[in-house]
Amino acid sequence: MSGRPLWLLLGFAATACAIAGAVLPLVPTTPFLLVAAYAFARSSPRLHAWLLGHPRFGPLITDWQRHGAISRGAKAGSLTVIGLTPLITLAMQASTWILIVQLIVLVPVTLFIVTRPDRPRPRAPHG
């Protein structure tokens, strides 16, 4: 048996997680899209092309693949959720260890996001 079915399964699972992340707070979108694109590139040229051509998801993937970039909008959304997460935890009066674990995870994630370049600006056509 080839690895194609496993890559397809991973691609579908990652796409489902990315879709959930597009509508649910605290669930990331872009990392799952990158995994889905990787898996579909190894299993289904048609699904890979569909994902790259998707109007919402495609630009996130191509920005990362071509430039290692995260758009300003994606950064703003991510950082907003990251900032709200510990505030919600405090408001819910959750255990201090939960807040500490969140901060241990979210501080490096924040640093990673803010150190990625923005999407390059499109060049104006010469004419």
What is the per-residue DSSP string for 31-75? HHHHHHHHHHHTT-HHHHHHHHH-TTTHHHHHHHHHHS---HHHH
Residue ending a domain, among 68, 85, 107, is: 68
Residue ending a domain, among 68, 85, 113, is: 68
Is-contact 70 113, C-beta < 8 A?
Answer: yes
If one counts the domains in the chain, the total is 2
Chain CA centroid to CA 56, Å: 12
Percentage of residues in the chain having pLDDT higher than 90? 54
- Split at pLDDT 50, 70, 90, the class of 124 is low
Are 64 and 76 found together in one domain?
no
Find the mean pLDDT for residues 43-57. 93
Instruction: Output the average pLDDT for the chain.
Output: 88
| The model's pTM | 0.71
| Domain hosting residue 97, numbered range | 70-122
Residue 1 has pLDDT above 50, yes or no: no
CB atoms near residue 19 (< 10 Å)? 17
